[in-house]
């Protein structure tokens, strides 16, 4: 690694009202580093990126920059989302939730001068040469235009905030290739495959502190797991030693008590007088034993307390309560054709089958028809075109979150649809990283990511036995995505989902269907 220093930040403190978001002692960025910045929603990732890029001043501390920088925002500059405070965007803003198949046109984010300065090769690589002077573009096209601006800038240090937003699989692949050719960057992304392919270091914002891990995202996870293993060893050693000392203390106290026990023929008054007037050997021994017991007690009190590492509880729902179908095939379509009213042909004599208990990822380029297919499965479009077995009880997840009653608490929302015991519902919420203190919160005060997880929880404990999910990982932080992966992998019903998240698909899907050129094709790998 080069020793050329690009950024030096010291004593960086940021507060939102009375809440301290983070307090960072020091951070140095060197030439040649490709750094992934990770952390939970609301941890302050975007805020830190803006401070390092010089767009925002910290409440305390200094940032010295020794090179030119370029900053790719998650949202276009001047948009309603971009202008909101970082905490609002990260924690509350469910923005840009249009489906990939149905993205409405948006005004191009670039000025005339900015478009004029775009590099032709960048435009060609990103396949948007014909969109440069368009007044209205899709969300994915707008993202590509802003990325072309980054690649045209030739600045030595680039900050990237969720650059895969609104990009389909093809767009993400192009982005990955371009970023590999860049020397120095700091990137915020929930795309673990991207972080694994690019990063030489991971910075994690957690509980207001910044920790550094060498390597890519998988290396970071391995180091975190090793730290948890060490924490378990320390906790087990601590509890074992504490139990041993407590046993020694009780034995010494009991021994002292036996020594002090008066003879049977001596009254309490006589024993008290004896203790006052004499120095009987047994009295001295008892005092010594009491002192030894006190010393043991002091050792217990002075021990460094080791906290028990947090474990994800096991969920044991009774899936039989959903009256699941027993058919081998639960969804199938034969020679399906579908076009929208404007003549846009989406499917043309396409056929597919989905087996019971399978977890099927639907992939494809923007506009290929992924969301259209989900809506046909659910009967929202062309009812009856796709056949679903009678006992299949479909639960559709879309990010309008219309199933949540914002006046009710988290637990009340879940229990109003639950066919499972309350203990199962609470365990499920815990697995989705809701703490006990969150159970009584009104849903209206939850962050955007928390609302998405609450909507999932309602589906999991309901009568649903066939889950249909459109981009389930959008707007979730990495810990939440990983929690969902674990839950979906254990799901006993049938799961059909659209996603561009390569790692999520690898971890969850048992089968992949690609919507391409009007057909639905089974593919072996993503």
For residues 187 and 261, state if they share a domain. Answer: no
For residues 492 and 413, state if they share a domain. Answer: yes
Going by the DSSP 8-state scheme, the letter that residue 409 receives in this structure is B
For residues 518 and 482, state if they share a domain. Answer: yes
Please list, residue by residue across 133-144, b when 16 or more beta carbons sit within 10 angstroms of its beta carbon and e when fewer do: ebeebbbbbbbb
- The two structure tokens encoding residue 54: 């010089």
Does residue 71 lie in a domain region? yes
**Angle CA(23)–CA(32)–CA(179) in degrees, nearest 5?**
95
Q: Check residues 269 and 79 and name the one with the higher pLDDT.
A: 269
For residues 273 and 383, state if they share a domain. Answer: no
pLDDT category at 314 given cuts 50, 70, 90 is confident
Q: Check residues 144 and 525 and name the one with the higher pLDDT.
A: 144
Does residue 128 lie in a domain region? yes
Q: pLDDT value at position 97?
A: 35
pLDDT score of 101 more than 50:
no
pLDDT category at 96 given cuts 50, 70, 90 is very low
Structural domain including 47 reads 5-215
Q: What is the mean pLDDT of residues 251-274?
A: 68
Q: How many domains does the chain have?
A: 3
Residue 129's contacts (CB-CB under 8 Å, 6 or more residues apart) are 120, 123
Tens-digit pLDDT profile for residues 177-227: 999 999 999 999 999 999 999 999 999 999 899 999 999 999 999 998 888
pLDDT score of 88 more than 50:
no
pTM, entire model: 0.73
Percent of the chain with pLDDT over 70: 86
Give the dihedral sign, CA 378/379/381/382: positive
Q: pLDDT value at position 102?
A: 47
Does residue 352 lie in a domain region? yes
For residues 191 and 267, state if they share a domain. Answer: no
186-to-163, 201, 237 alpha-carbon distances in Å: 11, 9, 39
Q: Are 22 and 209 in contact (CB under 8 A)?
A: yes
Tens-digit pLDDT profile for residues 457-485: 999 999 999 999 999 988 788 988 998 99
Q: pLDDT value at position 214?
A: 96
Q: Are 433 and 457 in contact (CB under 8 A)?
A: no
Q: What is the mean pLDDT of the chain?
A: 85
Q: What is the mean pLDDT of residues 35-59?
A: 92
For residues 373 and 472, state if they share a domain. Answer: yes
pLDDT score of 421 more than 50:
yes
Percent of the chain with pLDDT over 90: 51
Q: pLDDT value at position 274?
A: 60
Q: pLDDT value at position 105?
A: 62
For residues 255 and 332, state if they share a domain. Answer: no
pLDDT score of 94 more than 80:
no
Q: What is the mean pLDDT of residues 486-491?
A: 90
pLDDT score of 1 more than 60:
no
Q: What is the mean pLDDT of residues 274-294?
A: 66
Does residue 223 lie in a domain region? no
Does residue 310 lie in a domain region? no
Select from 149, 181, 215 the last residue of a domain.
215
Q: Are 67 and 6 in contact (CB under 8 A)?
A: yes
For residues 81 and 24, state if they share a domain. Answer: yes
With tokens 């998650």, the residue in question is 74
pLDDT score of 281 more than 70:
no
Our measurement of the distance from residue 522's CA atom to the centroid of its chain's CA atoms, rounded to an integer in Å, reads 29
For residues 518 and 488, state if they share a domain. Answer: yes
Q: Are 71 and 55 in contact (CB under 8 A)?
A: yes
pLDDT score of 419 more than 70:
yes
What is the phi-psi region of residue 412: left when phi exceeds 0, alpha when psi lies from -120 to 50, beta otherwise?
Answer: alpha
- The two structure tokens encoding residue 419: 């066919």
Does residue 391 lie in a domain region? yes
Cα–Cα distance measured from residue 459 to residue 418, given in angstroms and rounded to the nearest whole number: 9
Q: What is the mean pLDDT of residues 226-238?
A: 82
For residues 199 and 246, state if they share a domain. Answer: no
For residues 351 and 441, state if they share a domain. Answer: yes
Tens-digit pLDDT profile for residues 375-407: 999 999 999 999 999 999 999 997 678 889 999
Q: Nearest to residue 92, comparing CAs of 516, 444, 454, 429?
A: 444
CATH number, domain of 478, equals 3.40.50.300
Q: Give the three-class secondary structure for 311.
A: coil
Q: pLDDT value at position 80?
A: 45
pLDDT score of 93 more than 50:
no
Does residue 307 lie in a domain region? no
Sequential DSSP letters for 98-111: --GGGPPPEE-SS-
Does residue 479 lie in a domain region? yes
Q: Are 310 and 227 in contact (CB under 8 A)?
A: no
pLDDT category at 518 given cuts 50, 70, 90 is very high
For residues 459 and 326, state if they share a domain. Answer: yes
pLDDT score of 351 more than 70:
yes
Give me the phi and psi of 170, to 5 degrees please.
Answer: -65, -45
């Amino acid at each position: 690694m080069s020793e050329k220093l690009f950024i030096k930040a010291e004593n960086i403190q940021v507060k939102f009202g009375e809440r301290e978001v983070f307090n960072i002692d020091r951070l140095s960025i060197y030439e040649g580093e490709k750094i992934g910045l990770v952390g939970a929603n609301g941890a302050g990732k975007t805020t830190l990126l803006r401070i390092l890029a010089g767009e925002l001043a910290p409440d305390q501390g200094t940032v010295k920059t020794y090179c030119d920088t370029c900053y790719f925002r998650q949202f276009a500059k001047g948009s309603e989302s971009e202008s909101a405070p970082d905490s609002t965007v990260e924690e509350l803003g469910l923005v840009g939730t249009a489906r990939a198949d149905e993205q409405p046109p948006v005004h191009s984010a670039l000025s005339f001068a900015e478009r004029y300065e775009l590099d032709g090769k960048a435009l060609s690589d990103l396949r948007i040469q014909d969109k440069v002077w368009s007044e209205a573009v899709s969300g994915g096209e707008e993202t590509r235009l802003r990325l072309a601006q980054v690649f045209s800038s030739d600045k030595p240090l680039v900050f990237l905030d969720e650059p895969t937003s609104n990009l389909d699989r093809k767009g993400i692949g192009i982005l990955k290739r371009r970023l590999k050719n860049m020397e120095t960057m700091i990137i915020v992304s929930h795309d673990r495959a991207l972080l694994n392919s690019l990063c030489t270091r991971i910075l994690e914002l957690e509980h207001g502190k910044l920790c550094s891990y060498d390597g890519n995202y998988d290396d970071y996870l391995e180091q975190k797991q090793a730290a948890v293993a060490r924490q378990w060893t320390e906790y087990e050693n601590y509890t074992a030693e504490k139990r041993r000392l407590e046993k020694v203390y009780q034995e010494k106290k009991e021994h002292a008590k036996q020594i002090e026990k008066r003879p049977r023929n001596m009254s309490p008054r006589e024993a008290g007088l004896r203790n006052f007037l004499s120095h009987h050997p047994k009295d001295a021994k008892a005092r010594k034993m009491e002192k030894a017991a006190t010393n043991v007690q002091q050792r217990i009190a002075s021990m460094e307390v080791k906290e028990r590492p947090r474990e994800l509880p096991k969920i044991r729902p009774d899936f039989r309560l959903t009256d699941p179908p027993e058919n081998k095939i639960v969804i199938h379509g034969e020679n399906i054709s579908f076009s929208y009213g404007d003549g846009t042909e989406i499917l043309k004599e396409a056929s597919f089958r989905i087996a019971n208990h399978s977890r099927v990822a639907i992939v494809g380029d923007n506009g290929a028809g992924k969301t259209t297919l989900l809506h046909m499965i659910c009967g929202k479009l062309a009812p009856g075109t796709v056949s679903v077995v009678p006992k299949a009880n479909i639960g559709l997840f879309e990010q309008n979150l219309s199933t949540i009653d914002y006046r009710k608490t988290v637990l009340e929302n879940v229990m109003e649809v639950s066919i499972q015991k309350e203990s199962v519902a609470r365990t499920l919420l815990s697995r989705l990283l809701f703490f006990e203190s969150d159970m009584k919160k009104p849903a209206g005060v939850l962050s955007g990511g928390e609302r998405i997880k609450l909507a999932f929880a309602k589906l999991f404990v309901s009568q649903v036995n066939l889950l249909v999910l459109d981009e389930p990982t959008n707007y979730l932080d990495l810990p939440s995505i990983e929690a969902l992966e674990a839950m979906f992998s254990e799901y006993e019903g049938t799961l059909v989902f659209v996603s561009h998240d390569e790692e999520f698909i690898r971890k969850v899907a048992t089968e992949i269907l690609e919507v391409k050129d009007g057909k639905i094709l089974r593919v072996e790998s993503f």
